[in-house]
A = this chain, B = another copy of it.
């Protein structure tokens, strides 16, 4: 079912490239629809929001007041969530919070010999928006992963939007929002929800940054409002890359490949090993275990279309390939993996050692499950507290420092033909003489 590639084959590089290629097709009709929706929300506010919610979610609300979930509705959803699940959400939240606390950036400054102070002041965003999909792809774990870093950062108000198609409420999603400390929740979705968060309406407040996953309309809307507000990365399909020396139970590895493949038909599961016989064993495990999987059809499609088993000469070659692929999830399932960590330059999250199933990272290990996909780990990072904080440079010159820097700035400003820059600096020099 899965492609077999040999890293020493002459056409390997081209075949790998083909395997990895992924581009979110920018459909012009999606873009046109999204632009219209954004335009309508900016012009008409709540009126358009109610209209689109009736049209796309088949939900007729009597007035804009009904867009927000009430405290009572949220409490009722929490009450309908099983105590076991609620306890699991609370435990996972505690671990995600504890890890996130380590990411918090702090302000710093230093004073130079002449009394000039330089530094960086860190502040949280005032308000953040969290998009949560409705329907079958509604993941409470995703609510925790997106909301908790914002709250740890100190965001004053965290607004969540989640559509309720046909009025159906996902209790667990609301319970997760409650556990994570989300401040307000609106029953809206799609491009109209993104537009409302970006520009504000009478009912939905404008936010400074929008995070969270969504369908192609949500992604297009986020891209369109980028600049007006901040956005997180636009995610591609989920991926796992496993490097294994052949000494892990092949059933474990097969199930790890499944755990990625079951997300959707576009998900990518790749295993790299220097042990060709182990690749055969994993293939056998896949055949053996697949039939019992409730999501077998999705897994089969994903493994067939986008999966691969790659044979390499040795673990050095495996690590080199991992850096080339820059995967979202990287499992290092071999003895002594922790010693090779400094050699891993590009990966969203690294799961070290055979006991670390990738799935633990999806729910409760602590680190975020919102990770860079499609090779973007080459230049971007997991979602974190730092995404909800920003920095301001601080410059406070002493009279003496200002004179020294002023003389220097003037030389440079004049070389660029910016005379007022030079004069503005010079005034302070003169005053100090």
Q: Taking beta carbons and an 8 Å cutoff, which residues of A are in contact with B? A: 24, 84-85, 88-89, 91-92, 99, 102-103, 108, 110, 116-118, 120-121, 123, 125-126, 136, 139-141, 172, 208-209, 227, 229-230, 234, 249, 251-252, 255-256, 258-259, 261-263, 293-295, 299, 330, 337-338, 341-342, 344-353, 355-368, 371-372, 374, 376-382, 384, 390-399, 401-402, 405-406, 408-409, 411-413, 415-425, 427-428, 431-432
Contact = CB atoms under 8 A, between A and B. Distances in A.
Contacts of A125: 378-379
Given A384-B391, A409-B360, A262 B415 contact: no
Given A395-B351, A420-B258, A85 B118 contact: no
Contacts of A208: 378-379
**Centre residue among A337, A353, A416 by max chain B CB count within 10 A:** A416
Contacts of A258: 420, 423-424
**Centre residue among A24, A108, A338, A411 by max chain B CB count within 10 A:** A411
A347 B392 contact: yes
B411 A88 contact: yes
Contact of A357 (B121, B365, B424): B424
B348 A392 contact: yes
Contacts of A263: 418
A357 B390 contact: no
9 contacts: A125-B378, A227-B374, A227-B376, A293-B420, A294-B419, A357-B402, A357-B409, A360-B406, A367-B395
A176 to B, nearest CB: 10
A398 B355 contact: yes
B99 A118 contact: yes
**Centre residue among A359, A361, A413 by max chain B CB count within 10 A:** A359
Copies of this chain, complex-wide, total 2
Given A110-B102, A393-B350, A398-B355, A420 B364 contact: no
Contacts of A392: 330, 344, 346-350, 377, 381-382
Nearest to A416: B139
A333 to B, nearest CB: 11
A422 B365 contact: no
A258 B419 CA distance: 9
Contact of A379 (B230, B356, B382): B230
A418 B252 contact: no
Given A118-B365, A295-B419, A378-B208, A424 B256 contact: yes
A88 B259 contact: no
A234 B223 CA distance: 13
Nearest to A230: B379
Given A366-B118, A409-B363, A425-B357, A140 B394 contact: no
A120 B103 contact: yes
A4 B395 CA distance: 29
Nearest to A136: B417
A290 to B, nearest CB: 10
Given A89-B412, A351-B395, A357-B428, A418 B262 contact: yes
A346 B123 contact: yes
Contacts of A356: 395-397, 402
A391 to B, nearest CB: 4
A88 B362 contact: no
Given A258-B423, A351-B395, A359-B422, 15 more contacts: A102-B108, A102-B120, A103-B120, A117-B352, A123-B346, A141-B416, A230-B376, A252-B428, A255-B424, A259-B423, A262-B421, A356-B395, A360-B405, A367-B395, A371-B393
A364 B88 contact: no
Contacts of A84: 411
Given A102-B120, A353-B397, A359 B425 contact: yes
Contacts of A91: 408
A98 to B, nearest CB: 9
B209 A363 contact: no
Nearest to A125: B379
A388 to B, nearest CB: 9
Given A139-B416, A379-B125, A424 B117 contact: no
